[in-house]
Amino acid sequence: MIYKEICINHSKTGINRNWTCTKADKLNEFVKKYQNKEVELYTSYYDFHKDLKTHLETHNCMTDFKGDYILNEIILDIDLLFDTYDDLLKIVKYHIDFIIDELNCNKNQIKPYFSGTGFHIHIPNIFDFKPSNDLPLMVRKKLLSLFPRCDTIYNNYSLIRLPNTWNRKSKLYKIPLSINEITNMNIDEIKFLAKKPRLNFE
């Protein structure tokens, strides 16, 4: 059984990282519970076995966790830094082309998202990272060498915004996009789509 940490950031009370986790296949229920409320929802970058649940119940934090970190999906986080949104879209397109052409990833396995402010690119574990306690160090080293422009969200305690959830900063949602939409739409068109969740996206 695979577990994920879950985290709530409420617009009034702020982030509530109370170190709780849920079964990975229950994440959609977690999202639905808070859908259309002014609440930001995050989950752990890594997956875990049940020993994480036991550890969090005992220690209330990740400190001294000795179990395995598991990576079933790689997520690249590309935020707006000193770029314009036009530049940022070009950077996202470059990364997608690089993943397809240089890393031989099937185009159909690449899942781009607009995060509400930047972009996430979800891809399978194409590097065959194995579960281990020091996995975050190996992931960080590999991904930074290939994607230096991406944010460093590979630490053992890193969180990532859940799809179809609200972004307080932009008042938009993290939504899935097709590669065709990334290629052909401008940022205003993407932001218009992000005014609400895309729950039936295929």
Contact by Cβ (8 Å): 132, 68: yes
- Tell me the C-alpha distance between 194 and 167, whole Å: 10
Q: What pLDDT is attached to residue 20?
A: 72
Contact yes or no for 174/162 (Cβ under 8 A): yes
What pLDDT is recorded for position 48?
Answer: 93
**Tens digit of pLDDT at every position of the chain (202 positions):** 888 888 887 655 555 665 577 777 888 888 888 776 778 899 999 999 999 888 888 888 888 899 999 999 999 999 987 778 999 999 999 999 999 999 999 999 999 999 999 999 999 999 999 999 999 999 999 999 999 988 888 998 899 999 999 998 999 999 999 999 999 999 999 999 999 999 887 7
Residue type for 174, please? K
Give the architecture-level CATH label for domain 3-193: Alpha-Beta Complex (3.90)
Burial category of 43 from C-beta neighbours within 10 Å (exposed 0-12, middle 13-18, buried 19 and up): buried
Three-class secondary structure of residue 10 per DSSP:
strand
Q: What pLDDT is recorded for position 107?
A: 95
Listed by start position, the domains of the chain span 3-193
Q: φ and ψ at 8, to 5 degrees?
A: -115, 135
Predicted pLDDT of residue 7: 86
pLDDT of amino acid 12: 54
| Separation of alpha carbons 116 and 171, rounded Å | 7
How confident is the model at residue 103, as a pLDDT?
96
Token duo for residue 114: 């607009």
Lookup: tokens for 187: 């940022």
The upper half-sphere exposure of residue 119, i.e. CA atoms within 13 Å in the direction of its Cβ, equals 28
Can you give the pLDDT at residue 6? 86
What is the pLDDT, as a whole number, of residue 197? 92
